Structure 1
């Protein structure tokens, strides 16, 4: 049985995800900054390290984004990875399997971050609703 609880009863809604353009702006600026930092510290030509760092960035951005922002986040991170993390810097190339793998990793990381956030928020909302019904009351999970 589904029990409807009015929002005025103290139940808080699940947080709204950030708009995709803001997530993409963060991906663009964050990816360029991280690649520049990596190039300055470990040097260019280390795409494995850059891919790992940008995948973490994509996952972190996914935590506050909608699922529809994942493709754009992956592409923006890939542009920085492809254009500046591998020599020659500033030149975009397409190396078939390698770049498809990089895009898949970045897209997967963004999706994992978003899915994780949705699960955590849904679980927290469920706990808030069941806790509000009290020990003697019926909660949404009670049949």
Structure 2
């Protein structure tokens, strides 16, 4: 669920009467798993975001930061910081999955939708770190 809002005036949305002061909740979890929008919404398919068509036509169907006037003001900074942090982790470490443990993609409970079972991974310092002087 996104941050709840309250309607400031009486209005009608998609045929529903919304009285002033009504609490409005956006179920982002359901929107991001809508089979009308996503082919196999429960499947992990990062390649679905690679196409040029996605970048130009699908804006608004993927709402991690909300949309419109009430979108998260920290979205730009967050995307830059996450890209930099993830890039550093990928560049500076060699990652491998623990072969003895199967990856469980089921979701736990909470605001950030954590995994029910944490992912187990092993990391080793990359050779690039041998030349770093601090």
- Give the TM-score range, shorter chain: under 0.3
TM-score (normalised: structure 1)? 0.26
TM-score (normalised: structure 2)? 0.27
Higher helix fraction (1 or 2): 1
Higher strand fraction (1 or 2): 2
Higher relative contact order (CA 8 A, sep 6+): 1
